[in-house]
Chains A and B, each alone.
Chain A
Amino acid sequence: MLAMNKLRITGVIFLTVAAAAVVSSCSDKKSTGWEYARNMYDPLAFNPDQPNKHFANGQTAQTPPAHTMPVGFDEPETDYPNTPEGYQSAGLNLKNPLPLTKANLEEGKMLYAQMCTQCHGLTGKGDGSIVKLEKFPAPPSYSTGQSSRGGGMNELSDGKIFHTITYGVNMMGPHRYQLTPTERWKIVQFVHELQKLQ
């Protein structure tokens, strides 16, 4: 008799624990749930994505004043503006400051794979993943295509490729906000390799 009672009691206890656990774990996905000491989560110094009442537009992330430059970023607007003349001048005068080393080339390949392949494709033929899905028009092939600004794509010089990555051209957007000049030069090195493909 006692044994049966014990069994019953443990059964009931188990059921209640399970039910309570299920009920209390049903939470709203749209809410963060209970929080203790929320002030320990919110930083004292402002995060860039936080609202900020100290600025007129209410944002913490402010547009930097004109002509300020983050460390490691260039300001090619002064020397090589986004004009046909700036492009031609960059093609003549801008040279890759990085030495052609295996490490730089490897890095360039990795950066190219991350930033460029979705349109230009792994081998630069203009057959990237979103081009294949017909969601975006195909860019010209580095090895066999024609440049919209004259000449074959395989003849593009250091400066011209750098200028194009910096400002974009036609359907390609500017990538100077995502890539530092050093990263861009590494990509230029790798693109030169792709130009040699047949």
Chain B
Amino acid sequence: MRNISLFLRSVAKSFLVTVLLTLALSAATKAQDAAAGAAIFKSRCTACHKLDAKSVGPALAGVNDRHKKEWLHKWIKNSQAMIFDEKDPEAIAIYDQFKPITMTPFPDLSDGDIDNILAYIAAPPATGKKGPVVTEAKEEISDLMIGGLVLVIIVAFIVIMLLNRVTGTLERLVMKNNGVEIPEEVTVDRGAKFKKLFKNKKFVFFTGIIIIIILVSIGTVGMWNTGVHTGYQPTQPIKFSHQLHAGINKIDCRYCHSGAYKSKNASIPSLNVCMNCHNYVTAADNYGGQVSPEIAKIYTALDYNPDTREYGPNKKPIEWVRVHNLPDLAYFNHSQHVVVGGVRCQKCHGPVQTMDELYQYSPLTMKWCINCHRETEVNSKGNAYYDRMIAAHEKIKKGEKMTAAVFGGTECGKCHY
């Protein structure tokens, strides 16, 4: 009897161990499946699919419940054949929702790969998704703090003065009580002191000079900076960060300011340029799953619904505030400077890729323009305009006949402008 129970116990024990082991193993393989699936999902699927929201294609969460495994395998490998050749009703129902977009066929994905992807979709490993972002208190000294500090110091000063007076009076009282003679406080005529000062010619002269110096220097600095907007940093309707877009993301200046190379204006991008990326990028991870409030401003302006990915009729442009304003009396052409002159954007606009909020870097004064024109050497190589000029100079050197036509005197615009 005892033997049997012992035997049974050992059997039960080994059974339990095996079950536990297999369970643990299967969990481990499952986790591995999902991890492998995550990698494939990221590289092959995210271009069109999100897990929890509609993108180019449908949201994929719960797809394992909506369709059978075999059907999903077939669909992923070649969905277009299922729609157009086999006329599979389930496939056509999906196509009707997303017409005319069809899904890329993935014949190169193995069954194992697809199983991994489906495992990942069924149970995405908890990534370090951040919860609602608590706006961190930035350690910046605001004007309010400085004001408060000054106020505290003033109050403390007044309190000290008052206390000083009170102790003085108390001391005198104590002394009086002790019967000590106190000389009466001599009241000084303060007015008389001032009157005496004002009669002092040296003093008046000196003060006058100081006042004149102050006024003149304030006036000079004021006039010097009149109309010079260096450092001007207006508040823009959207908190657009050049540091993030041009610095961290390394998006070329010209991607958005596409006019810089071909027109007078560098051009402020219209919202459709923003949407080239922001139809996908909503920075929701940083805002607890909600669209970032700044990106939401683009959507509002375009009357765009990120859930249905459709544009409404009530579009309103964003009113950006112009930072660089050259007076109308001066002509400036971006393409001329950037293409012909080969001037880098940063030469005039400063380190824009490090500016969280854009400010005017250069003074844009005439002196500033002229200085650069005086110092910059012209690269005349491969430039037809300079070739002609050099040819004309050669003619002069040789003493040949020079006509107005050589300098473009026969161009229509010389007379008919």
Contacts and interface: CB of A to CB of B under 8 A. Distances in A.
A34 B221 CA distance: 11
A167 to B, nearest CB: 12
A178 B103 contact: no
B182 interface: no
Contact of A33 (B48, B229, B265): B229
Interface residues of B, number: 63
A191 B56 CA distance: 24
B217 interface: yes
A146 interface: yes
Contacts of A133: 248-249
Nearest to B357: A29
B232 A32 contact: yes
Given A16-B213, A138-B43, A175-B276, A30 B235 contact: yes
B255 A33 contact: no
A20 B328 contact: no
Given A24-B221, A177-B270, A178-B258, A29 B232 contact: yes
B213 A17 contact: yes
A49 B320 contact: yes
A56 interface: no
A40 B55 CA distance: 50
B243 interface: no
B147 to A, nearest CB: 15
B225 A34 contact: yes
B301 to A, nearest CB: 13
Given A12-B210, A33-B228, A148-B48, 15 more contacts: A29-B359, A31-B232, A33-B226, A34-B226, A44-B328, A115-B254, A115-B258, A129-B251, A137-B48, A146-B105, A149-B102, A150-B105, A168-B276, A170-B101, A175-B276
Interface of B: 42-43, 46-48, 55-56, 80, 100-106, 108, 206, 209-210, 213-214, 217-218, 221-222, 225-229, 231-235, 248-252, 254-255, 258, 262, 265, 268, 270, 272-273, 275-277, 279-281, 317, 320, 322, 325, 327-329, 359
